[in-house]
Amino acid sequence: MADVRLLTDEPDQRHVLRRAWPHLREHRRAMAGAVAVNLLATLSLTLVPVMIGRAVDELLDGDRTGLLVSAGVVLGLVIARTVLLRWSELLLTRVGEKVVHSLRDLVVERLGATSLRFLEAHRGGDLLQRATVEIAELAAFVRGQLPDLISLSGYLLFSVIVLLSSSWQLFGLLVLVFAPPMWWLGRRFRRAAQKAYPAEAAAQATLTATFAESLLAREQLQIDAATGTWLDRLRGDADAYLGRARTAQRGANWIDATWVVQGLTTAALLVAGGFLTAGDVVTVGVVVTFVLASRDLFSSVDDFTLVAAELVESRVGLARLLDLLDVTRPPAAAPVAAAASTRGLTVENVSYSYRPGEPVLHGVSLAFAPGEHAGIVGETGSGKTTLAKLLCGLYLPDTGVVRLGGEDLSALDATDLRRRLVLIPQQVHMVAGTLADNLALTPGRPGRDDFARATEALGLTAWVEGLPSGFDSDLGRRGERFSAGERQLVGLVRAALTDPEVLILDEATADLDPGTAHRLEEALARLRAGRTVLVIAHRPSTIDRLPRVVRLHAGRLTTEER
Ligand SMILES: Nc1ncnc2c1ncn2[C@@H]1O[C@H](COP(=O)(O)OP(=O)(O)OP(=O)(O)O)[C@@H](O)[C@H]1O
């Protein structure tokens, strides 16, 4: 089985910022500016208790002028802090949004370009969760908590400098009474959170995946009266999620114990301050500065505890996002082997398995000349669709090689490949919108005139004109207003717009009405000229018309029928 790197439910949390740095690098100037303004705002806040302490001393000394100056400085600091804080929040939000935006674009780009095998190996809901919910949470964190987090870090740093220079004795006391229990509580919280939050995120992704799958399969579940069983499964996932969310919540309870530590510290500062002022070691103003600053410090720690939970969650989300970006990173360009001298499309000793040790194709070798028209037939499950996907490079073979014009498909540029080889699957997928919206999903961004030219060339103008609003006909959320055959007509028009060297049509197995079957045959006959056309044929009428037919049986080529 060809290697496919898989996503991890609970990816490594270590060094997430360092790993995210390549995505942040281009924003580093804007980030540095925003952080600098934020730190200035924090410095203004840190100086307020110092000025109040000085004002208290001036009041006790009867120094009115000094008191007025100090009061004016306090006012100035508060105003400066308010203005600077708003400004920094604005800057941080702006740069944060830009980072999140570019991450989202990158995720969409990577998922769009990643291999079919990778997509099939993961539950759609998990990818959805990483590409939408986790990015949205990251954006919310950037808007809501990131400015607080930077302020808090700055505040801690400035407080230490200011308080240490005011009184080393009171500072020592503050450190002794406050820091050890806070460190211990923080450690308990971190330990609990490190396990609980990734587990909670993984359980949430599982629940999203199960729910997304039940929506897709809703019709089948109703037909089979299996909704109840499925609901049990959904309930099981929901219970698992709730259990993990509760564990995460219990971890957060450690944070509440910080209140007791805060009370103890204030009491200790007041008592020690009383003794120190009585012995003329410090002034009353310094004690006031310490009590006020420690209150600010406590409220910062409270804020920090709130932010800490969000921080851990965002870190988990970021780690899951980086995991997705990591495993979908395009491989380094392989050295291009010298082109073999073969022409057309060749399959050389190709094997493929979806699950290790269970090959569905065994050493298949085939060659289709340029301009050849051939059919691939075989019973259900014989490997026709798998072969078609290998032939157009959607899967890479486990062993062997598929070449176009002598070049290994895996060495071709992805965009070039998609232009040269087009597959029309049995079930052509449509997006919500009009026929024009769906035709626009073709390389080269074709417009109305191109649509008209392509339908004309395929003899489908009358068919389009017969639709309620021509190219503007609404096809429903997933194109459900079109039958399987009509969707294949859309696929053929898209193929005509792409103009590939090789066209592979996996014929729809659903019964086609005679009108649609005739249009498909006619359009395919017109599209044939000058290109290789391979049809995975199911209908006897198609098989009868094919000049060459190869047959697969249980993943092996059996006979060339003509
Ligand atoms: N995405 C997948 N994951 C796992 N197994 C798969 C996948 N797609 C196909 N298979 C298995 O591979 C085998 C070949 O399937 P494939 O669809 O290629 O056969 P087929 O000849 O095209 O069948 P049909 O005529 O019914 O379309 C089958 O056993 C099928 O169950």
350 touches 364 (CB < 8 A) = yes
Tell me the pairing of strands 549-553 and 373-378.
parallel
Q: List, in sequence order, every residue forming a beta bridge with 557; answer none if it has no partner.
A: 552
Give nearest CA residue, ligand 1 atom 9.
386
pTM: 0.66
CA of 373 to the centre of ligand 1 (A): 24
How far is C-alpha 147 from the geometric centre of its chain's CA atoms?
24
Query: Who's near 223: CB < 8 A, 6+ residues apart?
Result: none
Cα–Cα distance between 422 and 436 in angstroms, integer? 19
Domain boundaries, the chain: 16-327, 345-560
370 touches 501 (CB < 8 A) = yes
334 touches 322 (CB < 8 A) = no
Residue type, 129: Q
CA of 109 to the centre of ligand 1 (A): 28
Helix (H) or strand (E) holding 497: helix 484-498
CA of 551 to the centre of ligand 1 (A): 15
- CA of 426, closest atom in ligand 1: 27
386, 505, 506, 535, best to mutate for ligand 1 pocket (most atoms within 8 Å of CB): 386
Cα–Cα distance between 59 and 56 in angstroms, integer? 5
263, burial (CB in 10 Å: exposed 0-12, middle 13-18, buried 19+): exposed
**C-alpha distance from residue 478 to each of 124, 178, 330, 431, 518 (Å):** 16, 61, 29, 5, 24
Query: Who's near 201: CB < 8 A, 6+ residues apart?
Result: 10, 134, 313, 316, 317, 320
Give nearest CA residue, ligand 1 atom 1.
120
Give nearest CA residue, ligand 1 atom 5.
354
Per-residue confidence of the chain (562 residues) as pLDDT tens digits?
A: 555 788 888 888 778 878 888 888 888 898 889 889 999 998 998 899 999 999 999 999 999 999 999 999 999 999 999 999 899 888 988 888 888 888 888 988 888 888 888 888 888 888 888 888 888 887 778 777 777 888 888 888 888 888 888 899 999 998 898 889 888 887 887 777 777 888 888 888 888 888 888 877 777 777 777 777 778 888 899 999 999 888 888 777 777 777 788 888 989 999 999 999 999 899 999 999 998 888 887 777 777 767 777 787 788 888 888 899 988 888 766 555 555 556 789 999 999 999 888 899 999 999 999 999 999 999 989 999 999 999 999 898 999 999 999 899 988 888 888 889 999 998 888 888 899 999 988 887 888 999 999 999 999 999 999 999 999 998 887 777 888 889 999 999 999 999 999 999 998 776 778 888 899 989 998 988 889 999 998 888 778 888 899 999 999 988 665 5
CA of 381 to the centre of ligand 1 (A): 5
SS (H, E, C) 104-152: HHHHHHHHHHCCHHHHHCCCHHHHHHHHHHHHHHHHHHHHHCHHHHHHH
Query: Token digits for 468?
Result: 């309620």
Give nearest CA residue, ligand 1 atom 7.
354
Ligand 1 site: residues with CB under 6 angstroms?
120, 354, 360, 378, 380-386
CA of 354 to the centre of ligand 1 (A): 9
Cα–Cα distance between 190 and 12 in angstroms, integer? 15
The CATH number of domain 345-560, selected from 3.30.2130.10, 3.40.50.261, 2.30.30.90, 3.40.50.300: 3.40.50.300
Residue type, 467: L
Which ipTM value was assigned to this complex? 0.96
Give nearest CA residue, ligand 1 atom 30.
381
CA of 376 to the centre of ligand 1 (A): 14
Q: What single-letter DSSP state applies at residue 434?
A: B
1, 116, 354, best to mutate for ligand 1 pocket (most atoms within 8 Å of CB): 354
Considering the segment(s) 16-327 as one domain, its CATH architecture is Up-down Bundle (1.20)
Q: How many residues does the chain have?
A: 562
Q: If you search the block for the tokens 């939050």, which residue do you land on?
A: 197
Query: Who's near 491: CB < 8 A, 6+ residues apart?
Result: 424, 425, 428, 505
